Amino acid sequence: MKTAHDLVADAKAKIHEVTPAEAEASLADIDLLIDVREPEEFREDHLPGAVNIPRGMLEFKLTADPDLEDRTRRVLVYCKTSGRAALSAVAMQEMGYLHVASIAGGIDAWREAGKALVKPALPDFE
């Protein structure tokens, strides 16, 4: 029987991971930046320009949204530490997406490297 960690390790062997520095340098060249964390995680902070498509809905959203069906787009995915992103990248490759990469270490590594994050403002109810 495989564990979640086994599945992530298998996925990471099949995908291209980039460092936070490489990811930052490629932001101008990618077509789609996907945060596969849960909505509450995304609302806490996220990479500039990212769209939130939670891991559990990824394949369904990619299939249902005509704006996302172009399999030649250059896509960068990330999550908290890179496990969900690795699984997402494999799923996208299996769906025929040709240019998918994942950020090694996820948003935690991005944050640790001091890279820019968007922190949405909360409404002031005073």
Active site residues: 79
Cα separation, 89 vs 60, in Å, equals: 14
Task: Give the other-Cβ count within 10 Å of 22's Cβ.
Answer: 13
Distance of CA 56 to the CA centre of its chain: 13
Burial of 126 (0-12, 13-18, 19+ CB in 10 A): exposed
Across 83-115, b (16+ Cβ under 10 Å) vs e yields bbbbbbbbbbbeeebebbbbbbbbbebbbeeeb
